[in-house]
Structure 1
Amino acid sequence: MNYEQALDYIHSLSRHGWVLGLNRVSRLLARVGNPQNKGKFLHIAGTNGKGSLVQLSGNLLMQAGYKVGKYTSPYVLEFRERFTVNDEMISESDLAAWTARLKPMVDKLEQEGVFITEFEFITVLAFCWFAQMGCDIVCLEVGLGGRFDATNVIPSPVACLMASISLDHTAILGDTVEQIATEKGGILKPGAPAVLYPEMNPEAARVLETIGSQVGARVFRPDPAALTVLEETPFGSRFALEGKEYTLSLAGRHQCFHAQMVLALLPILQQAGFGVTQQDAAEAFAHTHFPGRFQVLCRRPFVVVDGAHNPEGVAGLKEILSHIPCPKKIAAGMLGDKAVEENLKLLAGQSDTLFCLPVDNPRALSPKELAALARPYFARVACFETVEQGLAAALEELEPEEMLLVCGSFFLAGEAVAALDSLLPEGK
């Protein structure tokens, strides 16, 4: 089996949908020797910010000299981004080899009436590969929810990190913040401390604290008032905490709070035997970059891609934009199962023009459907059949002093980055 065949097979499992539950994934893991029981993990859940926490905490540990696995979703540019060790993606040959090894086990389970989903398969593959690579620790991002997510088969982790919680995936997780927090709090385990987002929704925090006391997990939330944001730019931030200043290469006030969570994680990691220091954290904060999160692709013209796709994420994006005084044009594509109108309302004050783009996902709104929802909020709305056509038109109209923001979906972000690579000037 080669890499392309492996990818085709993995994506074919999407026919089984996204079905929450741990029985199926546990049965497949048992057949491959339960590799998840041999590793150490940071387990990371929440609505917005999981990816940032994976990168910041993982980079802290890498800075201290550890071999660190990262399991993330969704990918932006390439499928193999989901699985990295010390920021090196899984090789095509390793992904193909593990797919070939696991496929007969999946086939046998299907004969028994057990149908493995795509996410379950790649989660098992990730556990196998991280064990093969001899990781000291893995930063493990929950796919959806937490309680019944395929990643929740691990024993008690070193710690849990809980990013902010708000309404998203309501058809699956529940339509109140408390219900969603209950699902996400399902990753809390005995003896594993949990660090909450400093500005966590109070109702969500109460739910998580209750679950923590029930299962024997110490839950604490850093004080947001202890952190002072000193500077915000499109290229990063500076903040002060407990008498020390930090430079952060990620834009947005919310990213400063993610860094505060990682600083709160330091003593937990030290108690678990990891030799990490405050200086390691400072170095990690200054050098963390990853695609699709206020990613500045070009300064002249000023072009940014961001994957924000729900109201809380778009509100965070809007907060960053408030520190950028230049006029803006927005190109967007969105999935139909998101709070599209609320997202559009948040974006409306930033630009009078919206370029509506397609998103390569069966749940996506067509450009015309998005345009119909957007017209009450934007003076001018234009539709395009391809991402490249829409971005080319936006760049053609962009004035020297203007900024182009591409946003609305991580599924759009990857295609936009690829298209802009050929549309933007050399050297950028």
Structure 2
Amino acid sequence: MRQIGILHIRRFSTKTRSYSDAIDALNSLQTNFATLEAIRKSERKGNFMAIPEMIEWTRRVGYKPSDLDRLNVIHITGTKGKGSTCAFTYSILSQYQTSLSTIGMYTSPHLKSVRERISINGEPISEDKFTRYFFEVWDRLSETVSEETTFPNMGQGVRPVYFRFLTLLSFHVFLSENVDTAIYEVGVGGEYDSTNIVRTPTAVGISSIGIDHTRVLGSTLREIAWNKSGIMKTGTKAFSVEQKAEAWDELQRRADEKNVELIKVPIHPVVAKSRLGIEAEFQKVNASLAVSLAREHLLVLGHYPQEYSGDYVLPPEFTQGLERASWAGRCQTIRDGNTEWLLDGAHTDESITVATQWFSTKSRNTAKKVLIFNQQTRDAKSLVERLHSILGGDVHFDEVIFCTNLTWSAGGYQAAELTSMNTSKQAVHDLVVQKELAEQWEKMDPASRRFVLPTIEDAVKYVRDLKDDDVQVFVTGSLHLVGGLLVVLDK
């Protein structure tokens, strides 16, 4: 079977170098649904050539892993909360920009624009810079070759798949832009993730570990923790939130194996009393992990003030950073006329649990309540069952909408930067998942009005046509859904 992470792709004209051309070229690197299904059925639990191949791709772009040392990387993994941890960490460090002049952050997935994945000083890189740097990487891969015996799948006309290419692009952007602090969120797992060619991170963070991506990472917490702990590096402290015993034992075992100091991070007393920019009680766990990572990073670089060396005090810059943190699509509230949109892209059992608990704290008895839900690739039924059981009889949805992740209603049009090829087009067209979820919800709560709609725009239009004076809409189940909804709301 063709190796995951490498695709044969078509050529793009060197005469056309627009931003939309870059997006088209990037989308050509996505793994299609049929290939993903073959990989899933193969029960593959890791690609042992992933890291050697990534190092080789990096060489062909013009860099060595040692060049990445200049970025002073904070490396973060986990099942849920790693993106929020990145956001808190950035917000804290951004208060120190007299010392840290240029801070880069690489995260995934994006919500509205792929440029969100590669940001500098809190802003996605511009379309012009994305286009220029994108085609520099694209062309360098065209102009170089790999040794065929060692890398038989990296021949002429082959490029790395979507996420790996973007990781390469982030390295090129950050090194070209003289970034002196970089926050890297792992894509999937850790051991074989394309970001894991970083040799000397200043700090390693592990957010809450749960069951997800089982085809790739394993089906037990121990297997998944083994994979996540792959980003630990000898000589760098690793910080983890409290984990279930099975996961923690494996993290500690691997830390001992790698001679890494692993530190368990409880909720910091200052965080416990702080107002967080990313609201929700559970975010205090992620904020506390970010505090530990930012503090260690500043200590390693010699920028942490000595007068705050105790464990129970923090500089004012830290509390300011916590208060100013933001992370779109995660515990996000948008007021739109008489409608309050409550967004969280939760897509695992653990994340849907805490997101639903957050929504229940925001719920008003006087408001009409609407649920908009989709999950196209994971166990959607399990997620809605959990959502409904957590709410119990305390919160009732008057209207429940199951829609696809397609953005616009005109011909089921998808915004180019939100295009996903890893789902069955036929299943999306036939609304297979959405119809099954509507039937399931009827069994759980027959009093709710249920709707199956083909696009996000249709769902937004339905809500906006409601005549009620006070409407609360909970949008969850998929970051792709939340991202598309933000696009439609902006329009």
Instruction: Provide the TM-score with structure 2 as the length reference.
Output: 0.77
Letter in 1 for 2:320: E
Q: Does 1:33 align with 2:53?
A: no
Residues in 2 aligned to 1:246 and 1:44: alpha-carbon distance in whole angstroms: 23
Which residue of the other structure, out of 356, 359, 375, is the alignment partner of 2:405? Answer: 359
Stretches of structure 2 lacking an aligned partner (at least 5 in a row): 1-16, 37-45, 146-153, 306-314, 407-419
Q: Tell me, yes or no, if the aligned pair for 1:28 and 1:105 is still in contact at 8 Å.
A: no
Which residue of the other structure, out of 247, 253, 257, is the alignment partner of 2:281? Answer: 253
Other-structure match for 1:8: 24
Letter in 2 for 1:291: A
Please say which of residues 144-153 and 214-223 is displaced more in the overlay.
Answer: 214-223
Deviation (angstroms), 1:227: 4.6
Letter in 2 for 1:90: I
Residues in 2 aligned to 1:398 and 1:408: alpha-carbon distance in whole angstroms: 26
Deviation (angstroms), 1:267: 4.2
Q: Does 1:280 align with 2:317?
A: yes
Structure 1 residues 18-417: aligned runs within 5 Å:
20=47, 21-31=50-60, 32-34=62-64, 35-65=67-97, 66=100, 67-107=102-142, 108-109=144-145, 110-111=154-155, 115-197=159-241, 199-224=242-267, 227=269, 239-240=271-272, 245-276=273-304, 278-298=315-335, 300-327=338-365, 328-336=369-377, 338-348=378-388, 349=391, 350-352=395-397, 353-360=399-406, 361=420, 362-363=422-423, 366=431, 367-379=434-446, 380-397=449-466, 399-417=468-486
Residues in 2 aligned to 1:57 and 1:221: alpha-carbon distance in whole angstroms: 17
Residues in 1 aligned to 2:88 and 2:238: alpha-carbon distance in whole angstroms: 16
Deviation (angstroms), 1:212: 0.8
1:155 aligns to what SS in structure 2? coil
Residues in 2 aligned to 1:271 and 1:29: alpha-carbon distance in whole angstroms: 29
1:138 aligns to what SS in structure 2? strand
Q: Tell me, yes or no, if the aligned pair for 2:86 and 2:290 is still in contact at 8 Å.
A: no
Deviation (angstroms), 1:94: 2.0
Residues in 2 aligned to 1:370 and 1:157: alpha-carbon distance in whole angstroms: 43
Identity of aligned residues (%): 24
Asked which structure has the greater RCO (Cα within 8 Å, sep 6+), the reply is 2
Deviation (angstroms), 1:274: 4.2
Other-structure match for 1:425: none
Q: What is the aligned length?
A: 405
Deviation (angstroms), 1:113: 8.4
Deviation (angstroms), 1:114: 5.9
Residues in 2 aligned to 1:182 and 1:116: alpha-carbon distance in whole angstroms: 25
Please say which of residues 88-97 and 381-390 is displaced more in the overlay.
Answer: 88-97
1:111 aligns to what SS in structure 2? coil
Q: Deviations over 1:354-392 (max 9, x none)?
A: 201111444376332432343323323210122111222
Q: Does 1:421 align with 2:449?
A: no
Deviation (angstroms), 1:159: 0.6
1:140 aligns to what SS in structure 2? strand
Letter in 1 for 2:441: A
Please say which of residues 26-35 and 98-107 is displaced more in the overlay.
Answer: 98-107
Residues in 2 aligned to 1:74 and 1:384: alpha-carbon distance in whole angstroms: 24
Larger Rg: 2
Residues in 2 aligned to 1:284 and 1:86: alpha-carbon distance in whole angstroms: 13
Deviation (angstroms), 1:36: 2.2
Please say which of residues 78-87 and 37-46 is displaced more in the overlay.
Answer: 37-46
Residues in 1 aligned to 2:295 and 2:328: alpha-carbon distance in whole angstroms: 29
Would the alpha carbon gap of residues 414 and 190 (structure 1) be closer, same or farther in structure 2, given more than 3 Å must change?
same
Residues in 2 aligned to 1:79 and 1:223: alpha-carbon distance in whole angstroms: 34
Please say which of residues 371-380 and 275-284 is displaced more in the overlay.
Answer: 371-380
Q: Tell me, yes or no, if the aligned pair for 2:266 and 2:285 is still in contact at 8 Å.
A: no
Q: Deviations over 1:58-87 (max 9, x none)?
A: 121111112210000000111100001101
2:265 aligns to what SS in structure 1? coil
Would the alpha carbon gap of residues 171 and 195 (structure 1) be closer, same or farther in structure 2, given more than 3 Å must change?
same
Q: Deviations over 1:29-60 (max 9, x none)?
A: 11212242432100000011111111111121
Residues in 1 aligned to 2:460 and 2:316: alpha-carbon distance in whole angstroms: 41
Q: Tell me, yes or no, if the aligned pair for 1:24 and 1:116 is still in contact at 8 Å.
A: no
Residues in 1 aligned to 2:300 and 2:467: alpha-carbon distance in whole angstroms: 52
Letter in 1 for 2:225: A
Q: Tell me, yes or no, if the aligned pair for 1:195 and 1:219 is still in contact at 8 Å.
A: yes
Residues in 2 aligned to 1:59 and 1:271: alpha-carbon distance in whole angstroms: 17
Q: Tell me, yes or no, if the aligned pair for 2:341 and 2:473 is still in contact at 8 Å.
A: yes
Deviation (angstroms), 1:13: 1.2
Q: Deviations over 1:321-372 (max 9, x none)?
A: 2322415220111123x23222102222343432011114443763324323
Deviation (angstroms), 1:126: 0.3
Residues in 1 aligned to 2:475 and 2:320: alpha-carbon distance in whole angstroms: 29
Residues in 2 aligned to 1:408 and 1:80: alpha-carbon distance in whole angstroms: 23
2:84 aligns to what SS in structure 1? helix
Letter in 2 for 1:294: C
Letter in 1 for 2:56: R
2:361 aligns to what SS in structure 1? coil
